[in-house]
Structure 1
Amino acid sequence: MKKGRKLYDSAFKSKAVALSNERANISELARELGIKVTLLYKWRKEHEKFGEGSFPGNGTLKLTPEQEKIRLLEKQLKDAELERDILKKGNQHFFQERSMKYRFIKNHEHEFPIEKMCEVLEVHSSSYYKWKARPASKRALMKDKIKQQITSIYFASKQRYGSPRITAELNAMGYKISRVTVAKYMKELGLRSKLSKKFKVTTDSKHNYLIVDNVLNRNFAPTEPSQVWVSDITYIQTKEGFVYLTSLIDLYDRKMIGWSLSNTMSTADTTLAAWRMAIKNRPVKKGLIFHSDQGVQYATKKFTNVLESYGVIRSMSRKGNCWDNAVAESFFKSLKTELIYGNKLVTKEQMKIDVFEYIEIWYNKKRRHRALNYKTIEEFNNQNQFYKNVA
């Protein structure tokens, strides 16, 4: 039977295009999103031509020539600002240690004048030439190489990784190195993972809807996909007020199979929207347990009727006990630590793009999860599939 062509809605296309405007490598982004690079370029071309009027479905929205000219000028300005900030950002973050500065200069001698690089990175050119002429031991070269890899992994993770995850990443790359050594090198480089903060709970359990028992009872280790799905809601602050993120995670591999970022806390915009995405991504199996807190969005008849129509077993945390839904709570802690805290407030539209990138590219595809023994979700599923095939 011929496999049907996958369809993408306008929201996915718009966010993919917006994200591509922030990335230098379009091919890599297309691969991360699981789409053909030609398709992404097609969407970009349509967006360049019609702007907000692109991807209308059955509509025919278009921009006037004047609007199109303004849009192109804004894009050119953004590109110019991005180019201007590249070296500034590198000087601020990538080169804490003198040897790393020297290594950068050596690797870019054919791109930039040596004297200018020494001036920007605040090192004496004579010191650089002495370093370059001095023969390095194999041990020193290996240490320098590992430090470069640590720095690369650290900033590729947007400063989210600490020594355990960086160690796992290095081991996956073939390096044999301990977490203690990685922690030591990170300290020498001045690299620290982002620290977590406490945040408020958005649960509104003051309602008259039916509350069900805690069927899950903190059994967070199912043996198959679609045995247990957990969900929760949190707020995220932006320049224009709060937006509300609803998450829906399969406990088996910790994958975010459904989510919604909304301007309201209505059931339609939160739990129902996340559920609709989840059932598109994974089948609902018999005996599936759906666990949440006692919030009104999970207890309302509109949502419970949908769950019952699929034969789902409902489960709810005890009132005021966040540990009953620890995995969902942990996801929000990670997201806010790795994406929100320490960064400037952005618009709601920018936050939607940032959350889209965090979940669909980082969390679901690249992030190493402690609960999966520091494997990515894909590595975890591939390993378990291999063992099943062998058995």
Structure 2
Amino acid sequence: MSKKTFTEKEIKQLSTNPYVKVLSTKAITYTDEFKRIFIAEKEKGKFSRQIFEECGFDTNIIGMTRIQAASKRWSAAYKKNGVIGLNDTRKGHSGRPRERDMSLDEKNARLEAQINLLKAENELLKKNSFCGKGAKEVVLSPSQKFILIRSVIEKYQLKNMVRYLCGVAGVSKSGYYNYFSLKAQERRKHREARDEEVKEIILNAYRYKRRKKGARQIKMTLAGKFKIIYNLKRIRRIMKKYNIVCPIRKANPYRRLMKATQEHSVAPNLLERQFNQGEPGKVLLTDITYLSFGRNSRAYLSMILDGASGEALAYHVSDRITMDLATDTLQKLKKNRKFKKHKDALIHSDQGTHYTHPEYQRMVKRLGFRQSMSRRGNCWDNAPIESFFGHLKDETYFKACLTLEDVHKEIKQYMIYYNHHRYQWNRKKMTPVQYRDHLSQAA
């Protein structure tokens, strides 16, 4: 079929011809009378173009491609079925005889082909899905269906079944043939090679500093350290395609139940969850967590975190959860030369015994901090440091540590990585140290 389309002016001119039955921008349908005249004149030895012109058609508008295609089509129909073969059979018109009814063998062959296709589809769905409550329904993509159809045709040596099986699978025949064309295969091969290159780049960011990362961390690491900008959707697509899995932090289902309903303040809750006040050194968050390592061994980590920049300011590790765990962390904060205390600085903690102890509270006052405490049993009042501990446990390898000294080394490496190399999505995609400097310059 000719790809030439008719303009409004050409349509208007052609529609005046009595031999035109239906006309659109892409196609023209002639009357049965014109077809009979054409065949009669053709048998007299006239050329196709001459016949069209004698019947009032502008052959330059129609184009010789259309004229030759019509001539070939009508001649074949006339040779096969005579004059009746030239009649238009669409929309209930009588004309060319319908194709003969299928034989029983053909019907059986189609039914068998359909059953084999459905069996193959079932097997593929079983491989790609899992059974269980809440499992999502798996839907095959068009490309998977094309591959499935070809495999069934080749396996059972089916002939003339492409159109039928495409109809059963709900895909187009043209799409099927296009998928297996040389051009399409070359395009897929090129895309696969490009994805392989991107995968290696993403893996470099994923493994950077020996810390596994999610898609957002990978995006920020690529931009910050490798000067490569990738769309977040692209990163997620590649990770899904090559099964690059980041540590998944599952939400604690009991956290909501832990919300306190009654105020109980040993020290008043001065912070009221205003963790990030945009000024480094103003809000300090502290807490203690345990770390399992080796064979059933346990260490304890005390941390002080800056609420604005997220920077880890001081930490102390011990194999005993004594009072020294909290007070030694304060001493290390005092020795941190890069830490600049805000004039209205406060240190916020939960109501653990370390923080309610008179010795700890006296040290806090000597250092010039105000003291603030969360409500009893309410982890949301100190959420940032709880989140920090969660990331630390996901991204470190304490199970490989055999001694407390190994734990010290692993935590030291992580603190350097966290402060200088781990980008924060909600902090302008900067590392904590970069964001601290950014806030200091803006002040």
TM-score by length of 1: 0.57
Equivalent residue, structure 1, for 2:219: 167
Equivalent residue, structure 1, for 2:303: 247
Is 1:187 aligned to 2:187, yes or no?
no
Determine which of 332, 337, 349 is the counterpart of 1:277: 332
Q: What amino acid is aligned across from residue 424 of structure 2 in structure 1?
A: H
Shift of 1:286: 2.1
Further displaced range: 140-149 or 326-335: 140-149
Count of aligned pairs between the two proteins: 245
Shift of 1:373: 3.3
Shift of 1:229: 0.3
- Larger RCO (CA under 8 A, 6+ residues apart): 1
Equivalent residue, structure 2, for 1:267: 323
3-state SS of 2:271 partner: coil
Is 1:319 aligned to 2:319, yes or no?
no
3-state SS of 1:146 partner: helix
CA contact (8 A) 2:420 2:434 kept: no
Q: Separation in 1 of the partners of 2:400 and 2:251?
A: 18
Shift of 1:255: 0.7
Shift of 1:146: 2.4
Q: What amino acid is aligned across from residue 196 of structure 1 in structure 2?
A: R
Shift of 1:284: 3.0
Q: Separation in 2 of the partners of 1:221 and 1:158?
A: 29
Is 1:148 aligned to 2:203, yes or no?
no
Shift of 1:227: 0.6
Q: Residue by residue, what CA displacement relative to the aligned partner does 1:241-278 show, whole Å, maximum 9, x if unpaired?
A: 2211001011121111110001211122x111111111
CA contact (8 A) 2:347 2:372 kept: yes
Relative to structure 1, is the Cα distance of residues 345 and 309 closer, same or farther in structure 2, using a 3 angstrom cutoff?
closer
Q: Separation in 2 of the partners of 1:135 and 1:181?
A: 18
3-state SS of 1:230 partner: strand
What are the residue-to-residue correspondences of 1:95-114 with 2, within 5 Å?
A: none
Q: Residue by residue, what CA displacement relative to the aligned partner does 1:99-150 show, whole Å, maximum 9, x if unpaired?
A: xxxxxxxxxxxxxxxxxxxxxxxxxxxxxxxxxxx99998666544322110
TM-score by length of 2: 0.51
Equivalent residue, structure 1, for 2:407: 351
Is 1:334 aligned to 2:387, yes or no?
no
Q: Separation in 1 of the partners of 2:366 and 2:434?
A: 34
CA contact (8 A) 1:197 1:337 kept: no
Gaps of 5+ in 2: 1-185, 256-263
Q: Separation in 1 of the partners of 2:275 and 2:347?
A: 12
Further displaced range: 369-378 or 181-190: 369-378
Shift of 1:371: 3.3
CA contact (8 A) 2:285 2:304 kept: yes
CA contact (8 A) 1:214 1:315 kept: yes
Determine which of 432, 435, 438 is the counterpart of 1:377: 432
Is 1:308 aligned to 2:365, yes or no?
yes
CA contact (8 A) 1:210 1:299 kept: no
Gaps of 5+ in 1: 1-133, 202-208
Q: What amino acid is aligned across from residue 326 of structure 1 in structure 2?
A: A
Shift of 1:178: 1.2
Equivalent residue, structure 1, for 2:266: 211
Relative to structure 1, is the Cα distance of residues 302 and 334 closer, same or farther in structure 2, using a 3 angstrom cutoff?
same
Q: Separation in 2 of the partners of 1:135 and 1:197?
A: 40
CA contact (8 A) 1:240 1:348 kept: no
Identity %: 25
Q: Separation in 2 of the partners of 1:283 and 1:174?
A: 31
Q: What amino acid is aligned across from residue 226 of structure 1 in structure 2?
A: G
Q: What amino acid is aligned across from residue 310 of structure 1 in structure 2?
A: L
3-state SS of 2:381 partner: helix
